[in-house]
Amino acid sequence: MNLTAVNQSNVCQEYWCPERSVSLSVYVILYVAAAAVSLLTVCGNLLVIISVSHFKQLQTPANILILSLAVCDLLVGVFVMPFHLSWLIESCWISGSVMCSVFNFVTFQATSVSVHTVALIAVDRFLALSSPFLYSEKISPTVICIATLFNWLFSLFYNFTLLYVNGNFADVTCPGECLYIVDEVSSLIDLIVVFLMPCTLIIILYTHVFVIAKKHVTAIRALQVHNRTQSSKNRVSDKSERKAALALGILVFVFLLCLLPYYIFSLTNFLKDDSLSNVINSVLILFYLNSSINPLIYALLYPWFKKSVKIILTLKVLNTDSSLMNVLSLSS
């Protein structure tokens, strides 16, 4: 999460919670909508987590990265989205100083982990298509689990150090506000580590992924014309890798689409302009809504997710040996 440098001497001057400016009916509708979005985010990502964790067939390197992303999205749905939406509705922070600290830290942690997880997805797809033999030999679920664990621990260490160890950060408890203060150097470091470096890597690698996928399609068509003896297994494998790259490419594209507006504002220093608070809130909501959108992407693009959700909701997941069920039969 990019940190905005704030002048500490001015943060709490003459601030008060404004009176409610909408009717009671609109007020209730806003809270119902906020609760629905938060609940959708939590339930959708819980289904992803249960699916990949429970069904052995789904525990592939790519799906383990999806699992990590779903955990980030779940944290956003539980600790970030409901409190941020309540803050917008009330025009006032009503959740207390302890929850303010939790809100800030979880926001930073979930953001950095999710961005670096999407970067790992780009690396995974690039290796799978550019070096398939090396990928099948070296990139196992265990390797991805280790990389994912390192990602979480690195982000935890990085955010804790950035926020609390160097003395560059301070929670500021004003009446009705949840603020944070950080110096400009730390803000710039965070922008580079959490946004510029991983997003540049993502764009470069996925550009290569689609170039490679296009070359594979052309080569396979040429081979099929000259050699009709190509094995069905190889064709299915190549098609499967291309479909996986396309599906994850859509996931990455939507993620960047939701992430870029906020960081573009950060890069242009617009976040320091109080007159743009409504625009800032809009881009933040778009960023948080990505956590709600991801499970919908899985439902649309992954037949295994729809099948596993059906098994979970019908409680067949409680059956003995349900973890060994074939949930990929609809995915071929």
Q: What is the pLDDT of residue 224?
A: 58
Q: What is the pLDDT of residue 93?
A: 85
pTM of the full predicted structure? 0.85
Separation of alpha carbons 103 and 95, rounded Å:
10
Q: Pull the structure tokens for residue 118.
A: 């999407």
Q: What is the pLDDT of residue 310?
A: 93
Beta bridge partners, 169, equal: 182
Share of the chain above pLDDT 90, in %: 43
Q: What is the pLDDT of residue 228?
A: 52
**Cα angle: 90, vertex 94, 99; to 5 degrees:** 130
Q: What is the pLDDT of residue 262?
A: 80
Q: HEC profile for 67-91?
A: HHHHHHHHHHHHHHHHHHHHHHHHC
What confidence tens digit (pLDDT) does each residue in 227-269 have?
554 454 455 455 566 666 778 888 888 998 998 888 777 666 5
**Number of C-alpha atoms within 13 angstroms, CB side, residue 301?**
17
Average confidence score pLDDT of the chain: 82
Query: Average of pLDDT values for 60-86?
Result: 95
Q: Pull the structure tokens for residue 235.
A: 């064709």
Separation of alpha carbons 218 and 226, rounded Å:
13
Assess whether pLDDT exceeds 60 at residue 172: no
Q: Are 275 and 281 in contact (CB under 8 A)?
A: no
Assess whether pLDDT exceeds 90 at residue 118: yes
6: left (phi > 0), else alpha (psi -120 to 50), else beta? beta
Share of the chain above pLDDT 70, in %: 78
Q: Residue 3 carries which DSSP code?
A: P
Domains and CATH numbers, the chain: 23-324 (1.20.1070.10)
- Name which residue leads in pLDDT, 121 or 264: 121
Burial (CB < 10 A; 0-12, 13-18, 19+), residue 275, is exposed
- Name which residue leads in pLDDT, 33 or 161: 33
- pLDDT class for 182, splitting at 50, 70, 90? confident
Query: Average of pLDDT values for 16-33?
Result: 84
Query: Average of pLDDT values for 271-292?
Result: 75
> At what angle are helices 61-75 and 96-130 packed, to 10 degrees?
160
Q: What is the pLDDT of residue 8?
A: 45
Separation of alpha carbons 124 and 206, rounded Å:
10
Query: Average of pLDDT values for 74-83?
Result: 95
Per 3-state DSSP, the chain is made up of helix, strand and coil in percentages (nearest 5) of 80, 0, 20
Separation of alpha carbons 75 and 70, rounded Å:
9
Separation of alpha carbons 301 and 293, rounded Å:
12
Assess whether pLDDT exceeds 90 at residue 90: no
Q: Pull the structure tokens for residue 257.
A: 């689409």
Query: Average of pLDDT values for 88-111?
Result: 88
Please give the distance of CA 272 from its chain centroid, rounded to a whole number.
25
Handedness of CA 197, 190, 194, 262 (dihedral sign): negative
- Name which residue leads in pLDDT, 143 or 132: 143
Q: What number of other Cβ atoms are within 10 A of residue 196's Cβ? A: 13
Range of weakest confidence among 161-175, 212-226, 265-279, 313-327? 265-279
Q: What is the pLDDT of residue 227?
A: 56
Separation of alpha carbons 179 and 130, rounded Å:
46
Q: What is the pLDDT of residue 17?
A: 72
In angstroms, the first-to-last Cα distance of the chain is: 38
- Name which residue leads in pLDDT, 180 or 270: 180
Which residues, at least 6 apart from 27, have a Cβ–Cβ distance to it below 8 Å?
20, 89
Separation of alpha carbons 69 and 294, rounded Å:
9
